[in-house]
């Protein structure tokens, strides 16, 4: 009994090792430019004046190289997205200066109002639940830092569009198929064997 189990697991382990070796070429997709795009989003989290006072130089450094790319992305967003609310919110978040904080809050609030009118009842229910949960968080966790950061994040970010969701799903599916293809050296879509570990023999049904 244990011998049979051992045989199966060893075969599967061999397949896993095959996957390990085949995983190496996929790591080449890493791009340095993408990492710079994501950094400012992380830096937005601590927006307290003390944090900006501690590291003013790094904040300016992080903001400057990203702004032209982000502008390009937001120029593309009105054509790609069907919902005008996301366009408004994305335009509002361009200005990162402290002087525009009030304007940013106003624009974000107006964007939220627009989305609520567009979507109807479901969105209102979700926001009410979010508010009640925030109240609970206030009562349970008296730490001011987490609450402020949570509120800022929830206000600043817009929901992903259907196109973005579809792109994410499609990219994931593509990676999964490629992984299978590399592992078993067989192209299911074209129904053709590829160069690799296995030798495929055609059978006549």
Partner 1 sequence: MDNLLCDEVWLSKSANTFEEVISDPVALKSYENEEFEEAFAVCLEKEVLCLPEPDYTKYLHSNNLIFPRCRVIQWFIKCRRRFNLSFGTVFLAFNYLDRFVSICQCNDWEYWMLELLSIACLSIAIKFNEISGLSLHEIQVEGLDYSFQSNVILKMELILLKALGWRLNSMTSFSFAEMLGFDFLEPHHHVKLISRVTDLLVQATLDQKMMEFRPSVVGMSALWCTLDQLFPPTSDTYIAYIMSILNQSQKDDIIKCHKLMETQTSMCVENHHYYCPLSPTTVLLNTHD
- 159 is an interface residue for partner 1 by CB under 8 A: yes
Which listed residue (61, 82, 175, 187) binds partner 1 by CB under 8 A? 175
Selected from 101, 103, 124, 153, the binder of partner 1 by CB under 8 A is 153
Largest CA distance in the chain: 74
Rounded CA-CA distance 41/65 in Å is 13
Binding segment for partner 1 among 90-98, 99-107, 110-118, 168-176 (CB under 8 A)? 168-176
Q: Specify whether the CB–CB gap between 47 and 152 falls below 8 A.
A: yes
Instruction: Specify whether the CB–CB gap between 88 and 110 falls below 8 A.
Output: yes
The secondary element (H helix, E strand) that includes residue 151 is helix 144-156
Residue count at the site for partner 1 (CB under 8 A)? 52
The C-alpha torsion from 117 through 122 and 127 to 132, rounded to 10°, is 140
128: contact with partner 1 by CB under 8 A: no
| H or E, element range at 76 | helix 56-80
Q: Which is nearer to partner 1, 38 or 117 (CB)?
A: 38
Residue placing its CB nearer to partner 1 in the complex, 75 or 129: 129
Integer Cα distance of 90 and 130 in angstroms: 22
Which residue reads 């106003």 in tokens?
106
Residue 131 in the binding site for partner 1 (CB under 8 A): no
Q: How far apart are CA 84 and CA 149, in angstroms?
A: 26
Residue 41 found at the interface with partner 1 (CB under 8 A): yes
User: Between 12 and 80, whose beta carbon lies closer to partner 1?
Assistant: 12
- Counting contacts by CB under 8 A, is residue 71 touching partner 1? no
Query: Residues interacting with partner 1, by CB under 8 A?
Result: 2, 5-6, 9-10, 12-13, 16-17, 19-20, 23, 26-27, 29-32, 34-35, 37-39, 41-42, 46, 48, 50-51, 54, 126, 129-130, 133, 136-137, 145, 150, 153-154, 157, 159-160, 165, 168-169, 171-173, 175-176, 179
């Amino acid at each position: 009994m244990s011998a049979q189990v051992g045989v199966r697991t060893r075969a599967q382990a061999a397949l896993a090792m095959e996957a390990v070796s085949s995983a190496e070429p996929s790591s080449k997709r890493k791009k340095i430019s993408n990492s710079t795009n994501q950094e400012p989003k992380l830096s937005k989290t601590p927006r307290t004046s003390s944090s900006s006072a501690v590291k003013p130089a790094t904040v300016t450094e992080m903001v400057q190289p990203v702004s032209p790319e982000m502008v390009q992305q937001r120029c593309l967003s009105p054509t790609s997205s069907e919902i005008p609310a996301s366009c408004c919110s994305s335009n509002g978040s361009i200005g990162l200066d402290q002087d525009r904080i009030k304007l940013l809050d106003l624009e974000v609030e107006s964007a939220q109002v627009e989305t609520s009118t567009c979507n109807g009842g479901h969105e209102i229910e979700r926001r009410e639940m979010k508010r009640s949960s925030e109240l609970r968080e206030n009562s349970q966790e008296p730490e001011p830092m987490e609450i402020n950061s949570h509120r800022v994040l929830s206000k600043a970010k817009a929901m992903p569009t259907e196109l973005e969701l579809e792109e994410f799903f499609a990219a994931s599916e593509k990676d999964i198929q490629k992984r299978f293809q590399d592992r078993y050296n067989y192209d299911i879509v074209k129904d053709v064997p590829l160069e690799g570990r296995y030798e495929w023999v055609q059978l006549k049904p």
